[in-house]
Amino acid sequence: MTATRRGAGRTADVAPSRGQGSRTVDALRPGAAAPGNGTEPRAKDGTRRPPDAKGRAARRRREPAPGAASGAGGLDPRLQARRHQVARQEGRRRLRLVAAATLAATLAIVVIAAANSSLLDVEQVTVAGAFRADPQQVAMATDLQTGQPLVKVQPAAVAAAVERVPWVDTARVHRGWQGTVTVTITERRAVVAMPTGPRFALVDPTGRQLEIVDTPPEGLLVLGGLEASGVPGQLVPADALPAVASLERLSPEIAALTTGLSVEGGQVFLQLGSTGQAEIGDDRDLDAKMVALETVLARVDLACVSVIDVRVPSAPTVRRAEPGGGQLAAPGAKSEEPLANAGGC
């Protein structure tokens, strides 16, 4: 009985450590290890880690972090490829710049060489638009020489030189790469002739002397009372400028009656054929004076008219010659009798 109890006691003592029942009990005890593992990993604070936590930690130590450099030289392959691409693009850009600079320098050398060669020289100077002006004089005024490089021809300077020719008003200069320089001019217009010794100077509306002739052209009025210098290109005396300006204001009706003009004491007179004279005065209010003169010519009996005075355009007067040599005033002059009451001449 004693042995049996001892054996039973041993059996009771050993069985819990080897039997299924002991494992079940141990798994249910607090702090026991999970079934199937000898020892479970635990954190330093005693808490239990997941079964694969240790393996993941080891793998994180072995694997590079996301975005970390890798590959040859410690660079990410994509970053390395991008750097290579940028370097190639920069190289191509530098190559294009070098090629462009070389081409520009080559072209500049070619242009300079061609411009200074006989291929682009002045071969001929032609003049267009010259009727009264002498084409040879215009060509000489350009001061261009055969064989001169075209690139050294300055059109503005040449045009300014040509416009100093008396008959030339404006000039345009065109360079043709065939070696021809074309000068196109517009000419001035003569409106009056002025005595200069035994000859006459043709004068334009600005008072510039254009040409010296023996006889004025038909239909061109002669300005008397003053003389011109007789030097083409120069201006007439300042006293003659109001008379020249008056001619530009003449209407066709007055121009048809005007046979000449003169300057006396600074006053301008128009010779109206057999009708008499029109006293214009200075060059102020010329348009109003021409209107007043037209009105008098249209409304007044012009028989025996000596002078039509329009120096004051708002009050023109007419003086007539009487048989005894006296003069009568026409309407328009203050305290004068109307012309209709003055009888004939």
Q: Which residues contact 73 (CB under 8 A, 6 or more apart)?
A: 80
Find where tokens 């023109």 sit.
316
User: How many whole angstroms separate alpha carbon 276 and alpha carbon 279?
Assistant: 10
List Cα–Cα distances, 166 to 186, 223, 237, in angstroms.
12, 20, 17
- Tell me, rounded to whole angstroms, the distance of Cα 50 from its chain centroid: 84
On whether the CB atoms of residues 212 and 197 are closer than 8 A, the answer is no
User: How many whole angstroms separate alpha carbon 286 and alpha carbon 249?
Assistant: 7
List Cα–Cα distances, 89 to 31, 46, 141, 329, in angstroms.
67, 60, 59, 100
On whether the CB atoms of residues 277 and 270 are closer than 8 A, the answer is yes
Taking the model in full, what pTM does it have? Answer: 0.60
> Angle at the Cα of 311 (from 306 to 314), degrees rounded to 5?
105
How many contiguous H segments (helices) and E segments (strands) does the chain have? Answer: 9, 13
Tokens of 20: 């299924």
Look at residues 75, 158, 79, 150 and name the one whose alpha carbon lies nearest to residue 118: 150
pLDDT digits (tens), the chain, 345 positions: 444 444 444 444 444 444 444 444 444 444 444 444 555 555 556 666 565 655 665 666 555 555 444 444 567 888 888 888 888 888 888 888 888 988 888 887 766 665 565 557 889 999 999 999 999 999 999 999 988 888 889 999 999 999 999 999 999 999 987 889 999 999 999 999 999 999 999 999 999 999 999 999 998 999 999 999 999 999 999 999 999 988 888 888 888 889 999 998 889 999 988 778 999 998 899 999 999 999 998 888 777 788 999 999 999 998 887 654 444 344 333 333 343 433 345
Task: Give the orientation angle of helix 2-18 with respect to helix 20-28, to 10 degrees.
Answer: 60
315-322, long-range: CB < 8 A, 24+ apart? 316/292, 320/345, 321/345
Tokens of 233: 């290109």
Tens of pLDDT, residues 180-220 = 999 999 999 999 999 999 999 999 999 999 999 999 999 89
Tens of pLDDT, residues 137-152 = 999 999 999 888 888 8
Q: Which residues contact 225 (CB under 8 A, 6 or more apart)?
A: 262, 263, 264
Tokens of 43: 């954190």
Tokens of 318: 């007419």
